[in-house]
Structure 1
Amino acid sequence: MTTLAAIAQSGLQAAQLRLDSSAHNVANLNTPGFRRQTVDQQAAPAPGGVQARVAAPAAATGVALEAEAVEQISATYAFQANLLVLRRADEMAGALLDVRA
Structure 2
Amino acid sequence: MNTISSIALSGVHAASTRMDVAAHNIANAQTPGFQRQVVHQQSQETEGVMTTVGKSDEVGPDLAADLVAQMEASYSYKANLRTIQTQEQMVGSILDIKA
Match of 2:97 in 1: 99
Match of 1:53 in 2: 52
Higher strand share: 2
Cα deviation, residue 44, structure 1: 1.1
Find the partner of 1:82 among 80, 91, 94: 80
Paired with 1:30 and 1:63, the residues of 2 have a C-alpha distance of 8
Q: Which structure 2 residues correspond to residues 22-41 of structure 1 after superposition, within 5 A?
A: 22-41=22-41
Letter in 2 for 1:62: G
Give the TM-score normalised by structure 2: 0.96
Match of 2:2 in 1: 2
Identity %: 42
How many equivalent residue pairs?
99
CA RMSD of aligned residues (A): 0.8
Paired with 2:57 and 2:4, the residues of 1 have a C-alpha distance of 37
> Unaligned 5+ residue runs, structure 2?
none
Paired with 2:42 and 2:19, the residues of 1 have a C-alpha distance of 17
Q: Secondary structure at the match of 1:31?
A: coil
Deviation above 2 Å: which 4+ runs of structure 1?
none
Give the TM-score normalised by structure 1: 0.94
Paired with 1:48 and 1:67, the residues of 2 have a C-alpha distance of 28
